[in-house]
Chains A and B, each alone.
Chain A
Amino acid sequence: MAGYALSYLALAARNVEPVCRFLGDSLGLSRTDVALQGRTIPFFGIGKSALALFDVDDPYLDEPRFPGVHHMALAAADPAATAGRHALPVSDHGVGPDGKRFVAIAPSATVGIRTRFIEPLSIAAVDAPAYKIDHLGIATNDNDATVRVFVDNLGCPIESTQTDIEIRNVTESFISDKYGAVYHARAPQILGGLRDVFIAIGDCELELLMDYDPSMKPKAQLGEEEGNTKGDQSAIAKYVARRGPGLAHVAFATRNIDAILPKLAADGWRMIDLVGRPGGRGSKIGFVHPSNFGGGLLMHFVQPEINGGYGRA
């Protein structure tokens, strides 16, 4: 196939233990401890790739380090040659998990998405309620530049593009016992929106999320109510303002979102959504509250409309 496939996704957490419980005990993913320079890193196989869980201070992670989605590693038989073939500048190289050679691409060359190439890893995966990564959410302010890197240069296919808009409609009525009824509706007002591009990387996609209109003020308080497009737009705008464009969240595909969200709540995890709400690509989605993991690590579930997901791999 054209392009490259995700080998593993590196997550950084202040406290690794609850994330391991979430992925292993609650989601049923199989854990493999992988050697890395004299220590072991918990990996969780999922679909055709894996989640690697690092302490936020782990020296394998390049600066700046913060809890969240740190980098993605794409499989390449010869990482250094691959970077050279695509004329991508290398900021770091060495031996990574399971003794595999890797190169890290300078983030400025990938519009802030921290990307590595690594020799293929083999991490066992089982069929679980989270059966694969659906997508990696990218907060960005430049979809076009990101498409030039991952589609034009690396050859990953565009799966689809989408525009999300949230609109407020207001109707006023004045109903009098003498003057009768007067109704009038104000012009619809756009509250927020996102422009999305989905780019396939193996059995999942990068989901580029760009603020529809940067002049719209983000909502100050997030996570206190069920999610909506305005909230999503605000989260993206705030992420880009604070950290610049980059990897913002990870979404897992599930076959029954309305079963898994309450199940996770029953397991004691704080949830933003308890029932699936409309998401991208005809899916239903529901978010896990980042406070479960000390903040920063944003995960959500997707029940894809297309059984088995959207990926072409």
Chain B
Amino acid sequence: MLAPQKATDLAYLALVVDDPEISATHFENAFGLPRRDFKCGASTVPLIPVGATAIALFGPADPFLGPNPKKGVHHLALCAADPEAAARAAGLPTAGKLTKGLDGKAQISLDRESTSGVRVRFTEPLGLAPAHSDMVERIDHVGVASADNRAARATFIDKLGCVYESQQTDSEVETISENFTSDTHRYIFHTRPSRLVGSMRVTFITVGDFELEFLQDLTTDVSADAARHDAAGDTRADRSAIARHIASRGAGLHHVALKTPDIDATLDRLGTAGYRLIDKTGRPGSRRARIGFLHPAALGGALVHFVEREEI
């Protein structure tokens, strides 16, 4: 018997958008990435090769995605010459039978409950050539709203054979001070006790040529803020977004981050081209990166941000 297959190559990442054709045009024209079309059941699915993998764009009513898909990042498909054998080797339960997926390749879904809410499928390889552009080098990471990073490590590293990359803790602390300046009486200055307003544990696990970024909200005693896309983001807003995702959809895939050589130039180019931005310049992100978010409406409902960082 062969050694258990470790599935760490990614075939594609599936996004659900309002209109795949329109979103594909953004990836092609604004990001400069190539495009290929694949048959999938009755649909033609635009596929954007990026780095060593690809982004597949589906419409919200595509029956291939199962019941009631929500806009955003839907599933990721790992390469396996024999999808059923790969699922068996991982020791994870499957959901449904072997079906025909993109380009008629055989694929099988894993039970979402056993993969920390992340929809994972195994598919036969699509045989795409690597691709990149001046603006997008590859996918840097795919964010996951996580309820339990320990469980995610056990699944993705111990069972699926992915590799641990790093872990970090993000926090945002607020300190309020008051000062009273008088022309007659002494200067009064006092500071109230600092308060932790946002905290996350972030675990990076390599899959294919990028990492899954498991984001676990650790904040206590501070309720999540309402969505706010009118100002630059911060840890408090990020943590609130994760808490809201968990509350409304449960744990699962949350956003895609594209690696770019120059974050400020990229945001500037996209802003000039009329794309709605949450961050107009790069702000500090995980892994010593500078990051900037596009408004989710810019790409038809999927949340995408850019990342500039040095790899170490």
Contacts and interface: CB of A to CB of B under 8 A. Distances in A.
Pairing of A with B: yes
B287 to A, nearest CB: 5
B180 A278 contact: yes
Interface stretch (A36-44, A99-107, A172-180): A172-180
A161 B185 contact: no
A93 B17 CA distance: 75
Contact of B167 (A172, A176, A184, A229): A176
Contacts of B171: 172-173
Given A162-B181, A176-B168, A179-B312, A282 B188 contact: yes
Interface in A40-72: none
B304 to A, nearest CB: 21
Contact of B179 (A165, A174, A180, A182): A165
Contacts of B192: 228
Given A280-B180, A305-B186, A172 B284 contact: yes
Contacts of B197: 170
A213 to B, nearest CB: 15
Contacts of B312: 178-179
Contacts of B174: 168-170
Nearest to B284: A184
Nearest to B165: A178
B206 to A, nearest CB: 12
Interface string A283-294: 000000000000
Nearest to A175: B169
Interface residues of B, number: 34
B29 interface: no
B178 interface: yes
B97 interface: no
A281 B168 contact: no
A79 to B, nearest CB: 32
A90 to B, nearest CB: 34
Contacts of A159: 184
Contacts of B165: 178
B166 interface: yes
Contacts of B168: 174-179
A172 B200 CA distance: 11
Contacts of A229: 178
B190 interface: yes
B234 A176 contact: no
Given A172-B235, A176-B167, A161 B175 contact: no
22 contacts: A160-B184, A161-B182, A165-B179, A165-B180, A167-B176, A167-B177, A174-B288, A175-B170, A176-B166, A176-B168, A176-B288, A178-B287, A179-B166, A179-B168, A186-B234, A228-B178, A229-B178, A278-B190, A281-B180, A281-B182, A282-B186, A282-B188
Interface of B: 165-186, 188, 190, 192, 197, 234-235, 284-288, 312
Going nearest first, the 6 A-B pairs with the smallest beta carbon separation are A160-B184, A176-B168, A178-B166, A162-B182, A281-B185, A282-B185
